[in-house]
Amino acid sequence: MIRQFENASPTGALSYRSVLFPAALMALLLVVVLAIEVVLSVHTRRVIAPANTRIVQLLRLQRANLALQQELIESMSDGAGLTVADRVRLSGELEAILNLQSQLTANSPEEVAQARDALSDLNLHPKEALMLALSRTRTAIERESQAHQQAIAAIDRASVLKLRIGLLSLGLFAIGAVLLLYHLLRRIVRPLNHLAYLMTLLAHRDFSGAPAEAVDPLLRPLTENYNAMVSRLSLLEREHESREQDLKAQIEHATRTLLEQQYNLASTEKLAAVGETMAQIAHELRNPLAGIKAACSNLRQDLSQAQEPGEYVERIDAVAGEIDRIITVLNAMLDQSRHQPEALREITVARAIEDLFTLLRYQIPPHIRLEHDIPADLKFRLPEAMLLQALLNLILNARQAIGDRPGVIAIEARVRAGMLILRVSDDGPGFPEDMLRSGLRAFATTRLGGTGLGLPMVERFARDLGGGIRLANRQPHGACVTLEIPGGTGNV
């Protein structure tokens, strides 16, 4: 698999060299250690095998020597001589030992052969033959014992050598393993730990790059990819901050615009209410003034028939002229109080409310939640700007009523029998009872700093559309304003 990777990518093979070389060195060291162990094992076996053979021969010599001693003791105790059969049996045992003379030491076969010849020589006295055979076998046993001790010493030396070489090999292998671990720790583990530490810094928006110059070739692609990722993240973070600053500027601009619109709306509402009041006053004054003018005309006609009407007629003409001027001023005021109509158009109510919520989200404090329950496909012909102004009035009134307490301002919309039912509710303290009894009046307010024009303007909006407004309190607390607007077909 590594060979395929090397053929596919020389750079990748170069990156793996830092790991392959120490691994190959450790494998070679392990093979050398195992080879040394095998050689020492073969050497020890070669040393132990002759020692085992000598032990067998030594036991045979000892048994033969013991048999000779027993025959000598028996011959000395009962005075009987060594029979020919006994000589043949003892000679046969010594002959069997001589048949394996390659397993004896250098001079031992000669001693055994002399012992056999002594037993086979019938001319020798039995006791003399036994004594000579015992002497020769004892000499062979001593030589074999010395050879066996030397073999044991050789085995001991081989064992010590094997132990030393094994310990040395184990030490070299351990040193190699430690060096390999140190290499891996310095070249791979530490850079990986440093890379992990740098990745934890990403959570704190610290986009520091990892050093790629002294890093191991195996980790260089990873480090380069990490640095590329960090550079990309840093660029994206700068773009995000730039967009955030732009969005914040847009929000501040929208908030300022909304506040200006609110201020202008309040001023417009106040002026409209003043204009409406002045129109009512002009309407009420114009009729009495018309009657006064008619009376002055009749009085002038009567005086013109008098004998000297000149001075009185002039005075009456002056009064009539002033009355005409006042009527002209009142007519002008009535013309100015009539507002310009806004065209009706079909709007998606839910989308319009969501756009209004988007603007109000930065003006309504976070402890007050804005909600709406409006079907997504609800469409109605309305003057959109005037509708949003009316709803803005109601929402801002609800915000003032809730104050610093957590609360919810909700808008519901449904169509029933061709009429749009808009309901704005909150969980504030609700409307005063005297307002619910007496109804809405311009400039009448219970809130410090209020103008008393918001709800009358909403009522005028609904009335101009041919609808109406209803005020109610919710249980256990809260206010609810319901707008009922019939389907429009013209301008308002």
What is the pLDDT at residue 7?
A: 43
What's the rounded mean pLDDT across residues 420-439?
84
Quote the pLDDT of residue 334: 62
Summary mean pLDDT of the chain: 75
Q: What CATH number is given for 345-486 in this structure?
A: 3.30.565.10
Pick the CATH number of 220-339 from 3.30.310, 1.10.287, 1.10.3470, 1.25.40: 1.10.287
Measure CA of the first residue to CA of the last residue in the chain; give whole Å.
82
Mean pLDDT is highest, among 266-280, 323-337, 427-441, for: 427-441
State pLDDT tens for residues 71-109: 777 777 765 566 777 777 877 777 777 776 556 666 777
pLDDT value for 451: 46
Task: Reply yes or no on whether the pLDDT at 214 is more than 70.
Answer: no
Residue 321 has what pLDDT?
A: 67
pTM of the model: 0.40
The domain locations on the chain are 2-190, 220-339, 345-486
pLDDT tens sequence across 225-234:
878 888 888 8
Residues 6 or more apart from 95 whose CB is under 8 A from it?
A: 116
At 441-458, the pLDDT tens digits run: 544 455 544 444 568 888
Domains 220-339 and 345-486 share a fold: no
